[in-house]
Amino acid sequence: MPDYRLLLPESYRKRRRWRAVRALYRMVRTIWQEFRTPLIVFLAAVLVGGWAYGTLWNTIHADDPSLHKPYIDMPYTMVTLMLLASPDEMPTQPELVIFWYMMPAIGAYVAGRGIFDFANLFFVSNERHKSWEAAMASTYSGHVIVLGVGHLGTRVVHQLVRMGFDVVAIDVQETPEKSSELKRLDVPLVLGDGRLQQTLEQAGARRALALIVCTSNDQMNLEVTMRARDLNPSLRIVVRMWEERFAAQIQHFLNVDAVLSTTSLAAPSFAAAALGIEITQTLPINGEDYSLIRLTVAAGSFMDGKTIAELQHAENTDIVLHSVRGAEEVRVHPAPDAVVRAGDTLVLFAHHSKVTEIVARNRGQRVTSV
């Protein structure tokens, strides 16, 4: 894949920094919701328990101020009691001994309920990365979701970023190459099954502008489309399909903006490439198919010796580019009186049937109806 440098405006960088702050806030809030109970128990034991222990200790030793303990040291004392490592000797007073047996039990409860998951969240890089990516994706709105970051999906992400769109990627697995490329593009990756509502919601499907489904599994693409349409009825959806016969049904019944069949997209390109011609994706406009084509004017072609204006009028086509053979100059929207010669390169836009007709006639072939 060709490399290029992304030139991002300052406003875009500021937006990214603000998103990072919002993502940090959401991540902290998520941590609090997940570990709220053990954290409350821990803080209560350390702060309230420390205050109670210090008050009891100072009351018992009221006649000897030199033995009084400062309250600021009590939280530390409670933590060390939880860890069975108190800096003091075990007291003899029953009301204080209770703390020596109660704090280790509270510590075991806190550890059992969440301390290990809490540590993993912060100190295991992979888990922290997943949580951060999900938190970052939750700050997006009006963005484009690309599901399936394979060869095609990665190229789609590249194009969207270059066009200035905010992008969130979804994939079922992560690879070092994929993670590195998306990080370079500043695109968060939500790991999970795109058929699940939770995964789509993490990627912000309810707030997204569009969803592009790029996996090679038609069944999965169909399920993702149905789930996404339920979540967001106004979401623009573009689906990649291998079976062309499903395209019309999906587009009609699921209100999908475009269903791109791999075979229908590839067939014209393969056929044209064999003849040294390039045909872009066919564009449906008002129920009619139009194509953009690049070809070289053949020797003896009906186009040889005609002006741009003559060809456009006679063939009902628009010639958007003219490159003269042997010259470095490329004329975009060439002058109407420019003369086309054999060996010149033309880029034409016309009805798809007209494009195929021009290709055949350029080579001196009889036009065949199929």
Residue type (1 letter), 294: R
- Alpha carbon 123 to its chain centroid, in Å, reads 25
Q: Which of 290, 343, 339, 278 shows the shortest CA–CA distance to 317?
A: 290
Q: How many other C-beta atoms are found inside a 10 Å radius of the C-beta of residue 19?
A: 19
Record the tokens describing residue 307, joined without a space.
């002006």
- Rounded CA separation 21/332 (Å): 46
Whole-number pLDDT of residue 164 = 76
User: What is the DSSP secondary-structure string of 221-284?
Assistant: HHHHHHHHHHH-TT-EEEEEES-GGGHHHHHHHTT-SEEEEHHHHHHHHHHHHTTT-EE---EE
| Domain locations in the chain as residue ranges | 1-138, 140-263, 275-362
Mean pLDDT of all residues belonging to the chain = 80
Topology alike, domains 140-263 and 275-362: no
Q: Which of 203, 259, 205, 193 shows the shortest CA–CA distance to 230?
A: 205
Element (H, E) at 330: strand 330-332
The 10s digit of each residue's pLDDT in 202-225 is 899 999 989 998 888 888 888 888
The 10s digit of each residue's pLDDT in 141-180 is 888 999 999 888 888 898 888 777 889 999 998 888 888 8
Q: Which of 224, 240, 229 shows the shortest CA–CA distance to 156?
A: 240
User: What superfamily does domain 140-263 belong to in CATH?
Assistant: NAD(P)-binding Rossmann-like Domain (3.40.50.720)
pTM > 0.75: no
Residue 320's pLDDT band (cuts 50, 70, 90): very high
Q: Is 327 left (phi over 0), alpha (psi -120 to 50) or beta?
A: beta
Give me the mean pLDDT over the 326-349 stretch.
91
Record the tokens describing residue 117, joined without a space.
């998951």
Record the tokens describing residue 226, joined without a space.
């149905």
Q: Which of 183, 251, 161, 252 shows the shortest CA–CA distance to 213?
A: 251
Instruction: Determine the Cα angle at 163 with ends 162 and 166, to 5°.
Output: 90
Residue 310's pLDDT band (cuts 50, 70, 90): very high
Token pair 């628009």: residue: 318
The 10s digit of each residue's pLDDT in 219-276 is 888 888 889 989 998 898 888 776 666 666 566 556 665 666 665 655 666 656 555 5
Fold adopted by 275-362: Alpha-Beta Plaits (3.30.70)
- Rounded CA separation 17/23 (Å): 10
Q: What percent of the chain has pLDDT over 70?
A: 72
